């Protein structure tokens, strides 16, 4: 494991640290990292690297493979009779979008004193109001990213949807940029995530993605591997109905769409929601996205004693298949890796995979995973 620290003057490599944790999320703009190292106050390299409040850029690598690019946000120093380790943490570059609201107005009204980053953002188009008229998600997103010098990647699967224009969209005054963009993207069944280079990615996962590995517990014990299947029925609803937000002169919303949850087949548990942004013809996507959030209450967690399997590093967005009757998976089933936590120290390297059913992300209608294993 190699950590590169860029203080905007030069890049320093840190190869010696006691332990580290990397949390990579798929449906997120803020994958995180944390590492411990022995801080030598008389070592100029350590002194420069650990400058407080400088938001140095960190790049984490495993061999030649980049895992994450982000900002160092937090540092904890500890001095006591026994030697202590400094703790340094941060998140991926787009994490700033979840911490900041939309900076409406002219760039010059915000950045009055020249800063290091000024030349990267001053000459770009910023959002001027909370309302956008006749703009596409691509255009809105670009304005939101410009103040932070972030770049974006638009996957081929969503290029057409990204260019579709909204009639009108309005962000809430205290709404984070991430929340606003995710609300707009959800109406078009688009997922917003980030990649290992710190870019914002707009994507729609492939519905026919092939699993890259099959965990088959039924054929014997898998060394160093633990499985936990969890179902939270309290957070599930049988029927989800979404209304378009009504105008002031309307008594009740007139446009609606409804989806049903196959994981609540025997009882009536309704849920009603309101679509706050986007166009009226997107209420079905809005209902489908509410269902996707509920389906996250069925999770499979896999803990394993390695970062790689068959030479491939575990990453969010991958598909695996699992057969394990001890966690009620009597039949082979595909799972989507939503989160990967990589832990390591001098003695071992472990990975924890949090998985959900692929229908949470691929837009397909979900089917009951356990159909046919019981009489009812």
Compute CA distances 365 → 115, 259, 291, 358, whole Å: 50, 9, 10, 10
- In the structure, what pLDDT confidence band is assigned to residue 226 with cuts at 50, 70 and 90? very high
48, 29, 30, 52: which is closest to 40 by C-alpha? 48
- In the structure, what pLDDT confidence band is assigned to residue 246 with cuts at 50, 70 and 90? low
Overall average pLDDT of the 222-250 stretch: 84
Q: Which letter does DSSP use for residue 9 in this model? A: S
* pLDDT for 247: 57
Q: Give the pairing type, strands 319-324 and 329-345.
A: antiparallel
Max mean pLDDT among 86-90, 132-136, 352-356 falls in 352-356
- In the structure, what pLDDT confidence band is assigned to residue 139 with cuts at 50, 70 and 90? very high
Tokens of 53: 């409040």
* pLDDT for 314: 94
- In the structure, what pLDDT confidence band is assigned to residue 108 with cuts at 50, 70 and 90? confident
Mean pLDDT value across the chain: 87
Domain ranges of the chain: 2-92, 100-203, 214-232+297-362, 233-295
Contact call for residues 77 and 86 (beta carbons, < 8 A): yes
- In the structure, what pLDDT confidence band is assigned to residue 81 with cuts at 50, 70 and 90? confident
Q: Give the pairing type, strands 226-231 and 200-203.
A: unpaired
- What is the dihedral sign for C-alpha 216, 221, 222, 225? positive
* pLDDT for 266: 92
Q: Give the pairing type, strands 200-203 and 191-194.
A: antiparallel
* pLDDT for 229: 97
**For the chain, percent of residues with pLDDT exceeding 90:** 51
Domain 214-232+297-362 identical in fold to domain 233-295: no
- In the structure, what pLDDT confidence band is assigned to residue 316 with cuts at 50, 70 and 90? very high
Class of domain 2-92: mainly beta
Q: Which CATH superfamily is domain 214-232+297-362 in?
A: Baseplate protein-like domain - beta roll fold (2.30.300.10)
Segment 323-368, tens digit of pLDDT: 999 999 999 999 999 999 999 887 888 999 999 999 998 878 899 9
* pLDDT for 110: 86
215, 223, 211, 234: which is closest to 327 by C-alpha? 215
Q: Which letter does DSSP use for residue 186 in this model? A: H
List helix spans (H) across the chain.
Answer: 44-49, 96-99, 107-110, 118-121, 137-145, 159-163, 177-186, 283-295, 359-362
Q: Which CATH number fits domain 233-295: 1.20.120.610, 3.60.20.10, 3.30.1920.10, 3.40.640.10?
A: 3.30.1920.10
* pLDDT for 2: 78
184-214: b (≥16 Cβ within 10 Å) or e: bbbbbbbbbbbbbebbbbbbbbeeeeebeee
CA 367 to chain CA mean position, Å: 24
Helix (H) or strand (E) holding 74: strand 65-76
- In the structure, what pLDDT confidence band is assigned to residue 248 with cuts at 50, 70 and 90? low
* pLDDT for 254: 58
pLDDT at residue 252 is higher than 80? no
Tokens of 195: 């990649």
pTM above 0.75, yes or no: yes
Q: Which CATH superfamily is domain 100-203 in?
A: Baseplate protein-like domains (3.55.50.10)
CA Rg, the chain, in Å? 23
* pLDDT for 12: 79
């Amino acid at each position: 494991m190699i950590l590169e620290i860029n203080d905007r003057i030069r890049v320093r490599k840190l190869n010696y640290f006691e332990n580290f944790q990397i949390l990579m999320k798929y449906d997120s703009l803020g994958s995180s990292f944390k590492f411990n190292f022995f801080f030598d106050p008389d070592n100029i390299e350590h002194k420069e690297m650990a400058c407080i409040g400088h938001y140095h850029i960190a790049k984490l690598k495993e061999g030649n493979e980049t895992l994450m690019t982000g900002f160092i946000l937090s540092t904890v120093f500890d001095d006591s009779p026994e030697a202590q380790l400094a703790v340094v943490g941060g998140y991926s570059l787009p994490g700033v979008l979840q911490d900041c609201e939309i900076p409406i107005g002219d760039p010059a009204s915000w950045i009055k004193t020249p800063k290091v980053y000024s030349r990267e953002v001053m000459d770009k188009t910023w959002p001027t109001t909370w309302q956008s008229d006749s703009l596409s998600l691509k255009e809105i997103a670009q304005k939101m990213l410009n103040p932070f010098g972030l770049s974006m990647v638009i996957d081929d699967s969503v290029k057409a949807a990204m260019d579709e224009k909204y009639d009108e969209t309005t962000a809430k005054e205290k709404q984070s940029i991430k929340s606003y963009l995710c609300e707009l993207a959800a109406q078009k069944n688009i997922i917003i995530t980030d990649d290992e280079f710190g870019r914002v990615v707009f994507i729609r996962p492939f519905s026919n993605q092939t699993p890259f590995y099959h965990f088959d517990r039924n054929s014997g014990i898998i060394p160093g591997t633990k499985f936990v299947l969890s179902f939270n029925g309290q957070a599930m609803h049988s029927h989800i109905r979404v209304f378009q937000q009504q105008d002031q002169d309307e008594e009740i919303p007139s446009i609606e769409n409804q989806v049903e949850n196959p994981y609540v087949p025997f009882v009536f548990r309704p849920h009603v929601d309101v679509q706050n942004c986007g166009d009226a013809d997107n209420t079905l996507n809005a209902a489908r996205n509410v269902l996707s959030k509920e389906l996250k209450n069925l999770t499979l967690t896999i803990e394993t004693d390695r970062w790689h399997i068959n030479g491939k590093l575990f990453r969010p967005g991958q598909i695996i298949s699992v057969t394990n009757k001890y966690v009620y998976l009597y039949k082979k089933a595909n799972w989507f890796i939503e989160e990967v936590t990589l832990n390591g120290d001098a003695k071992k390297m472990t990975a924890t995979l949090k998985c959900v059913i692929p229908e949470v992300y691929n837009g397909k209608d979900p089917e009951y995973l356990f159909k046919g294993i019981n009489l009812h």
